[in-house]
Amino acid sequence: MSELRLIELLLKYLVIFLIPVLTISSVIQAGLTLPYLAQTKPQTAADWVNQGLQLVQKKQLKDAIAAFETATKLDPKLAPAYYNLGLALRETEQLQPAAEAFYRAIQADPKFALAYANLGAVLLEGNNPKQAQDFLQNAIELEPNLGLAHYNLGLVKEQLQDWEGAIAAYNTALKYSPNLPEITYHLGVVYLQQNQIEQAATAFREAIKLKPSYAEAYYNLGAILFGQGNLQSAIEAFRQSTLANRNYANAYYAAGLVYMHLGQYQSAQTLLESAKTLYASQGNSQWQKSAEELLQRASSQNN
Q: Report all structural domains of the chain as residue ranges with CATH numbers, in order of start.
A: 1-18+205-303 (1.25.40.10)
Q: Which residue has the higher pLDDT, 302 or 230?
A: 230
| CA distances for 9 relative to 24, 31, 241, angstroms | 35, 46, 19
Contact between residue 249 and residue 273 where contact means Cβ atoms under 8 Å apart: no
Q: How far apart are CA 252 and CA 241, in angstroms?
A: 9
- 121-149 pLDDT, tens per residue? 999 999 999 999 999 999 999 999 999 99
To the question of pTM greater than 0.95 for the whole model, the response is no
**What pLDDT shows up at residue 301?**
84
Contacts of 34 (CB under 8 A, 6+ apart): 46, 49, 50
Which amino acid type is present at position 126? G
- 199-235 pLDDT, tens per residue? 999 999 999 999 999 999 999 999 999 999 999 999 9
Residues 81-96: what's their mean pLDDT? 95
Q: Which of 100, 105, 99, 97 is nearest to 71 (CA)?
A: 105
Q: How far apart are CA 204 and CA 34, in angstroms?
A: 40
3-state secondary structure of 128: coil
Residue spans of alpha helices (H) in the chain = 3-12, 45-57, 61-74, 79-91, 95-108, 113-125, 129-142, 147-159, 163-176, 181-193, 197-210, 215-227, 231-244, 249-262, 265-281, 285-302
Residues 14-38: what's their mean pLDDT? 37
pLDDT tier at 40, thresholds 50, 70, 90: low
Q: Which of 219, 249, 253 is nearest to 236 (CA)?
A: 219
Q: Vertex 128, ends 123 and 130: CA angle to 5°?
A: 105
